[in-house]
Amino acid sequence: MEHEMTLYKDEWSAETYDSLLRTWRDDVGLWLDLANETGGPVLELACGGARALLPLAQAGHECVGVDLSPHMLAIARAKLQQEPEEVRGRVAFVEANMKSFDLGREFGLIFVTARSFQALLTRDDQRACLQRCARHLRPGGLLGIDVFNPWLDRLVQPGGVDEKPEEYHGPDGCRVRETGHTDYHLANQTLVWKSRAECTSPDGKVVVREYDCPLHYFFRFEMEWMLEACGFEVEALYGNFDRSEFTAESPEMVFVARRAR
């Protein structure tokens, strides 16, 4: 695979994407329900700026967040500093790869939200991550994974798909116009989203930042067999975080799986 993930690997993209997603909370209710059901403790893989993890800690759960990017973890740690001491005492962040983390303890719930699992491009990487998850779950513990539902009409556009341009203010005060293009590689079920951010600072200076985000796209039964092959039983598949039924038009595939006893 010639495309490497460059998103989140510098301070600017880490801060920008954290600020863009800061108010998005659609998934938090589901993860909180599952945390309550299992009683925790909770491990989030690819936790980023701890957008989803902090509310679980605020609700009383002991939480660990793992992420590959020191820039994202710096944001997470800064947010944690704003929390009362009792919340701070319940949260730890660990810089590690979700394919190889080893925390030496077990959790009641592990989750990977907002499509982060799709950054694992090969079956070997996916298996490695799920085997680490199985090792870190107590018997009967729950694993939650969100991936997007691959819409066929997007996958078959010749020449890929131009994403809708977005305009927003960056965390450094610059005005950003972001355009993007997604190419689909059908043979290995990957897509590469290329983002181009044109950033104009208040004094009129323009900087262009370009990022690659390669992702694997999963089909429904591929996920179910993969989970089974790695020692999990699929308990539920939802079409969105509100636990709606999965249909062909669902935006997401949210899997809840139990570690086989």
Partner 1 sequence: MTSELSRYQDAWTAEHYDFQITWPNPDLPLYLEMARESPRPVLELACGTGRVLVPLARQGATVTGLDISPHMLSVARRKLAAQPVEVQARVTLVEGDMSRFALPYAYGLILIPFRSFQALLTRAEQRRCLECSARHLLPHGRLVINVFHPWLSKLAAQKSAEPQEYTGPHGEAVTAVSRTEFDFAEQMLTSRITYEITSANGEKQSHEHVLRLRYFFPFEMEWMLEACGFEVEALYGNFDRSEFTAESPEMIFVARRK
Candidate residues 121, 155, 161, 207; the one interacting with partner 1 per rule CB under 8 A? 155
Among 4, 81, 156, 204, binds partner 1 (CB under 8 A): 156
Q: Between residue 203 and residue 242, which ones bind partner 1 under the rule CB under 8 A?
A: 218-222, 224-226, 228-229
User: Which member of 23, 187, 202, 261 binds partner 1 (CB under 8 A)?
Assistant: 187
Distance CA 193, CA 215 (A): 8
Helices (H) and strands (E) in the chain, counts: 8, 11
C-alpha span between 48 and 93 (Å, rounded): 10
* Inter-residue contact 46 to 72 (CB < 8 Å): no
- 136 SS3 class: helix
Q: What angle do CA 99, 102, 104 make, to 5 degrees?
A: 155
Return the beta strands (E) in 170-222 as ranges. Answer: 175-185, 190-200, 206-216
Interface with partner 1, residue 248, by CB under 8 A:
yes
Within 79-108, which residues bind partner 1 (CB under 8 A)?
Answer: none
| Selected binder of partner 1 within 60, 78, 165, 186 (CB under 8 A) | 186
State yes or no: residue 159 binds partner 1 (CB under 8 A).
no
Closer by beta carbon to partner 1, 43 or else 226:
226
Nearer to partner 1, 74 or 155 (CB): 155
Q: Which range binds partner 1 by CB under 8 A, 47-55, 86-94, 169-177, 247-255? A: 247-255
Show the binding pattern over residues 105-144: x = contacts partner 1 (CB under 8 A), - = does not.
------------------x---------------------
Residue 44 sits in the site that holds partner 1 (CB under 8 A): no
- Cα distance between residue 259 and residue 261, in whole Å: 6
Looking only at the bridges linking them, the beta strands covering 107-112 and 42-45 are parallel
DSSP state of 56: H
What's the min distance (Å) between Cβ of 215 and partner 1?
A: 14
Residue 182 binding partner 1, by CB under 8 A: no
Q: Of the candidates 104, 203, 247, 261, which one interacts with partner 1 according to CB under 8 A?
A: 247
Residue 125 CB, shortest distance to partner 1, in Å, is 12
| Residue 20 backbone dihedrals phi, psi, to 5 degrees | -65, -35
Query: Residue type for 163, please?
Result: E
Q: Which helix (H) or strand (E) holds 78?
A: helix 70-81
What the block records as the tokens of 254 is 């949210």
To partner 1, the closest distance from the beta carbon of 186 in angstroms equals 4
Is residue 246 within the footprint of partner 1 (CB under 8 A)? yes
Helix, strand and coil in the chain, % to nearest 5: 30, 35, 35
Binding site for partner 1 (CB under 8 A): 123, 152-153, 155-156, 185-187, 189, 218-222, 224-226, 228-229, 246-248, 250
